[in-house]
Structure formats: C-alpha cells, structure tokens
Amino acid sequence: MTEHALDPLTEQEITAAVQAVKQSAGLDESAWFETVSLAEPDKAELAAYDRSSSDYRSGNPGNGNRGNSDESEASIERRAYVCCYEPSSNRTYQGFVNVRTAELQSWNHVPGAQARIVSEEFAAADKLVKSDQRFRDACAMRGITDLNKVLVESWAAGNYAIDEEQGERIAYCYCWLSNDAGDNRYGRPIGNLHPVVDLRRRKVIRVDDFGVIETPPDTAAIRPTQDLRNDIKPLQITQPEGPGFTVDGYQVKWQNWQLRVGFDIREGLVLHSIGYSDKNRLRPIMHRVSMPEMVVPYGDPAPGNFRRNAFDTGEYGIGQALDSLTLGCDCLGHIHYFDVCSHDWSGNPVVKKNAVCMHEEDYGLLWKHTDAQTGQSRAVRSRRLVISSICTIGNYVYGFYYYFYQDGTIGVEVKATGIPFPTAIAAGEASEFGTIIAPGVQSHVHQHVFCFRFDMSVDGQHNSVSEVEFAAAPVGQNNPHGNAIKINERKLPSESDAQREISLGTARYWRVLNTKSLNRFGKPTAYRLAPGANALPFLHPESSVAKRAGFMFKHFWATQFAADEKYPAGWYPNQSAGGDGLPRWTKADRSLEQTDVVVWYTLNFHHLPRPEDWPVQPVVYAGFHWHPDGFFDENPALDVPPNRGE
C-alpha cells in the first residue's frame, strides 16, 4: 500500500493528535473530542507533492501516487484538524496538530460556538432522562412502566430565543416505546412528551408535556416471521477474471478514471483528485467532492414538533454514523471495501470496517446504432464504477452513491430508507400536516435537503461558470413555422450572479468551463451540471431553520475557492442563530472568471410519507449528473468493445 498526503488519518496519527492536545492545549478533564480529522494540504503544496511522484516524472501527472520517489522530494506535512468541547467552561476549541512530530501548532477558542453532538452524549441523555422523576411520572400517566423499552432520542435544540436555553448546550428529546418484537425502537411514539436536557451540566432542565395521547397499538414489526415470499430465485453476479479496477491504498484506477477515496468524520465519504485519461493524458475534472451539509426540516407547527429539524452533517456528523457494510445486501458483486478510522469522544481511535464499498455494475445500453439499409447493428453495454457509503442517523438511513461512467459522466445519487419519523395521533383525529401511516401513528411532511460541494478543476483551476437556457424563438421571417428553439448561454461572472434555481420552463443547466483549454472546435472544454428531481423549501425565510440553512433557497451556488469555506451553513450550526455559510461568504461577490471555482448543488427531496413507508420505508432515489460538454472531441466511449458472447 502506497501512502499519500490525502489518505485518511490512521489510528496512530489520531492517537498522536489527541496526545498533543491533551499535553499542550491546557484543557481540563471534562473536555472531549468532537473531531480529529485530516487537515488536507493546500493546493499549491499538494501540487508540488504530486509533481515529485514517480508517475509525474514518467509522464503521467496528477494521479497523486508517490510510488518509489525519494522521500525528501515527496514529503509533505501531515496535519490533523482537532475540535474539542470543554463542558466546565462551555467552550469550543479548534486547532491543528502535526501528527508526525506530535506538535500542537495552533489552538484557539471559538466564541459562541457549540461543537457537534456526539454519540456518547445521546447515550448519556437517554440515561439522564430515564432517571428523572418528572419523566417517569409522565410515562406512568401513559401506562408505561418498563423504561427499558423506552427510547429517548436527543435532537439538537436549534435556536428559538428561549431564555433558559440561550448560551447553553441543549438537547430537545423525542420518545418512543419499542415494539414487542424488539426490531423497531420507533414503533410506538410517545406523544407530546419532550424532555429538555442540559448536555453540559448533564441534567434535565424541564419536561415539556403537552398532553397525554394514547400510545399507538403495536403494528411496527419490521421483519415478519411467516408468509415470506418463496419465489425469489438466486441471482449471482460474478467476475471470473476479477474486477476491472485496481487499488493502491486509497487510490483507484478504473478504465480511464483515476481518483482517491477519502474520509472525514463530519462529511463521511470524500473523493479527491478525480481525473479522466484522454489519449494518454490524465485530465483533471474535480479536486474534491463531498456532501458537507444536509438539513431535514419538518412541517408540523405543534408544540414540540415545530423544533424538529436536523443538520445531520453539521450538528451530528455523517462520518461518525457510517455503517459497516455487508457483502450481498448493502453491496453486490465483486466488492472492494475501504476501512476508515474514526474516534470516540475520549479521542480513542475506532476503526470502521467496510465503511466504503466499491464495485462495478452493468448499466444496460451504452450506445447503439442500427443501419436501416443493411440491417447491421452495433451496440455496447454500459458499465459503471460505484463508490458508496451508508449512514444510519436515528430513524433514517442514507446511502450516498457516486457513479463513474465510461463516457466521462459522473452521477451522484442519494438513497433514503429507514423509518419515517413517527408521531402519535389521537384516534379519529386527522393529520393536518402529514399522513396517518398506521393506527395511532402519523408522519409529517418534511424535506431532506442535501448540499454537495464540488471543488472544480476542469482541465486545471482556471475555470469560469455559465448558465444555459432555452426558449421558443418568436415566429417571424427567421422562424416561419414556429419550431425554432433559441439557445441562450450567459456568463455568471461573480458570486451574486451564480445563485440560481432550477427551471423546467427553460430546461436550465450550468457549465463549468476552462477558457484556456480549447477543444478541436475552438470552444472551451467544460462539464455540465444537469439537475434531476428537486424542490424548493416551504419555510418562511424568517423562520429559525431558514436563517440557519440559507443555502437551501438556491439550487446552484458558485464561489471562488477559499480554504476555510467548507460548510454551507457554517462551521458550527449547532444552536447557531444563523446567517453563516454561503449567504455570508457570497456577499463578497468575488469573481468567477478564470479562477479556482467551487460549485455547490442543493438537492431537495420533498417527502410526504405514505402508509407504504411503514414500518420501514422502501428506498427512494434522488440524484443528478455531471456530463462532459465539449470536454472531449468526440464520444469517448467509442473504444468500449462489445460484450463477449457466451
């Protein structure tokens, strides 16, 4: 395995970073670790590092493989970004550690910031609530005496200007009673009961009880014990000659694609250095890809329920919630798994086995032509490389999939499953803001809003941005039959111009182009972002969630690269008042012409649950694509051979 500067931190490096902070940061014993993750080198430093690789000297630049190059030429500082929370002072700190020398290079307090909620806090809050007599009495009023069957789940409290919560570290809790089968902890919602926990002082500050609702009957068994289908025949996917990809550490080569797999405890799966080999020249497309924020706002205004919104990346962390994947179900075929290293709140390394799955899959027809006169037909089948991860955050499960196609297309898809958030409802009552999905159970309308970040590098970092729309040309001398369609492409020269929404009426899409790299027609090489199904938020712009997640009001944003602009809702959205992230950064209105461009795409899956989503939701799909648009001189998949017949 060849080490590289973009590889995720190892167990040893996490341990070194933690020890450096413990020894030099001056924190007391109450402090715990929110994040210990790779601090990626800056682009100039990384470019020099890659140029020193043996592959670069052999004429294949940009793949980032150090090979057997001289250590002094290829050396680069390995640093960790560390964030800690100190309950005794209610302070959040951040800094950087050189993990090779175990030197704490910087350390500072972040005023007013609340660190993410970590899994250990969830467990602690559950125990605190169940030991509180007010909560026990409220459960008894509902006929619940066995608290071992009760789930108390802590949600980030948001910011609703409640005096006793201001400046404190608060969790607002929701409660359920497990079903009798024991396979659905969310099976029987306990209505109107919401403990409020001070996570810093580790105490229950109040119990919001908005009235007893009868606990729903048990209809929530996820896995029936009988009447399973018996007509499912075996389906095997084999590659007798092995997979088409090669892996060296975290570097992947597949056909003409090259990239690196990365990991961040907050963002989860990260991809680096994506490039395509064209005529023996590796051409960069994207420097870094991630999903740095998602928010799930719910649409019920009732007491307690109005607070339901989750910034699953910024308040909790996708990386800490990654599943260990299982061959034959989560992934199918000839699989390569990547392990990554996370940590607990004490800073102890935690290896996540099989955290990222990679495989090839058949994807139907790639291209075909039939000559009507001769009857001769030529066709090839499509194959794609799939890199994916799955995370479980409370009741929901999200799969994040990146697809690489033989024609240079990159696909992005989210698969959502799990259990739609269940809330109790009184018998005979209608659900005004949701759907009754089971007797005594309603689930409210909500949205899953994902923001993807693409640090672009289309044939290099001198990129520009444009928008393409279409319109019916007016009938006249140049359009006598009324069939002409006008193509309108306009530059988006600055960040204020590049805040856009999708438009079905104009078939709108966006291009990232390199005016210094021309194709054979003299046009800039480019990649096109083609949106898929999407929605806009229904939140009032002055609502608390809207202020904290301003990014979701535009589907497309483009910014000039800045190293510290990584998260579209800001670095610390937990209990923030809002206004940070993309809305604040873009006030600078920086130029987007021939510069280092970052594209942010907001994918909004609008969800009104159905009875068919209970007790577990079938997967729903949402995604979009990046297509080469003048990046190649012709179809780059002409060289794909037809499948060999049996």
Give the pLDDT band of residue 645 (cuts 50, 70, 90): low
At residue 218's C-alpha, the angle toward residues 215 and 222, to 5°, is 130
- What pLDDT is recorded for position 68? 38
The answer to whether 77 touches 48, Cβ cutoff 8 Å, is: no
Amino acid making up residue 104: L
Q: Is the pLDDT of residue 66 over 60?
A: no
Nearest to 343 by CA among 364, 319, 361: 319
User: pLDDT tens across 502-551, in order?
Assistant: 999 999 999 999 999 999 999 999 999 999 999 999 999 999 999 999 99
Same fold, 11-109 and 119-209: yes
The answer to whether 129 touches 203, Cβ cutoff 8 Å, is: no
Q: Is the pLDDT of residue 440 over 50?
A: yes
Q: For residues 296 and 285, what is the distance between their CA atoms, to the nearest angstrom? A: 31
The answer to whether 135 touches 204, Cβ cutoff 8 Å, is: yes
- What pLDDT is recorded for position 74? 55
- What pLDDT is recorded for position 57? 35
Among 63-67, 91-95, 110-114, 336-340, which stretch is predicted with the lowest mean pLDDT?
A: 63-67
Other Cβ atoms closer than 10 A to 12:
11
Percent of the chain at pLDDT above 70? Answer: 96
Catalytic member of 209, 312, 596, 613: 312
Nearest to 346 by CA among 27, 3, 105, 632: 27
Q: For residues 158 and 211, what is the distance between their CA atoms, to the nearest angstrom? A: 23
Among 59-63, 175-179, 554-558, which stretch is predicted with the lowest mean pLDDT?
A: 59-63
Q: Is the pLDDT of residue 67 over 70?
A: no
Catalytic member of 85, 186, 250, 396: 396
- What pLDDT is recorded for position 471? 98
Return the CATH superfamily for domain 251-456+519-628. Answer: Copper amine oxidase, catalytic domain (2.70.98.20)
Amino acid making up residue 507: A
Domain boundaries, the chain: 11-109, 119-209, 251-456+519-628
CATH T-level topology, domain 119-209: Nuclear Transport Factor 2; Chain: A, (3.10.450)
Percent of the chain at pLDDT above 90? Answer: 89
Q: For residues 244 and 406, what is the distance between their CA atoms, to the nearest angstrom? A: 12
Q: Catalytic: 180?
A: no
pTM: 0.96
Q: Is the pLDDT of residue 644 over 80?
A: no
- What pLDDT is recorded for position 59? 39
Does domain 11-109 fall under CATH 3.10.110.10? My reply is: no
Q: For residues 355 and 338, what is the distance between their CA atoms, to the nearest angstrom? A: 6
Nearest to 555 by CA among 600, 507, 506, 505: 600
- In the three-class reduction of DSSP (H, G, I as helix; E, B as strand; rest coil), residue 147 is classed as helix
Q: For residues 490 and 240, what is the distance between their CA atoms, to the nearest angstrom? A: 50
At residue 299's C-alpha, the angle toward residues 296 and 300, to 5°, is 125
Q: Is the pLDDT of residue 225 over 90?
A: no
Structure-block tokens of residue 454? 């693409």
Q: Is the pLDDT of residue 646 over 60?
A: no
Nearest to 41 by CA among 343, 272, 259: 272
Give the pLDDT band of residue 148 (cuts 50, 70, 90): very high
Give the pLDDT band of residue 224 (cuts 50, 70, 90): confident
Q: Catalytic: 81?
A: no
Average pLDDT on 230-243 reads: 91
Which residues, in sequence order, are CB contacts of 261 under 8 Å at separation 6+?
A: 250, 251, 252, 269, 270, 271, 272, 338, 356, 358, 387
Give the pLDDT band of residue 554 (cuts 50, 70, 90): very high
Average pLDDT on 263-269 reads: 98
What would you report as the CA-atom Rg of the chain, rounded to the nearest whole angstrom? Answer: 26
Q: For residues 192 and 161, what is the distance between their CA atoms, to the nearest angstrom? A: 21
- What pLDDT is recorded for position 11? 97
- What pLDDT is recorded for position 1? 62
- What pLDDT is recorded for position 377? 87
pLDDT greater at residue 359 or residue 50: 359
Amino acid making up residue 141: M
Q: Is the pLDDT of residue 70 over 80?
A: no
- What pLDDT is recorded for position 52? 75
Structure-block tokens of residue 306? 């109005």
- What pLDDT is recorded for position 53? 65
Q: Is the pLDDT of residue 570 over 90?
A: yes
Mean pLDDT, the chain, rounded, equals 94
- What pLDDT is recorded for position 58? 38
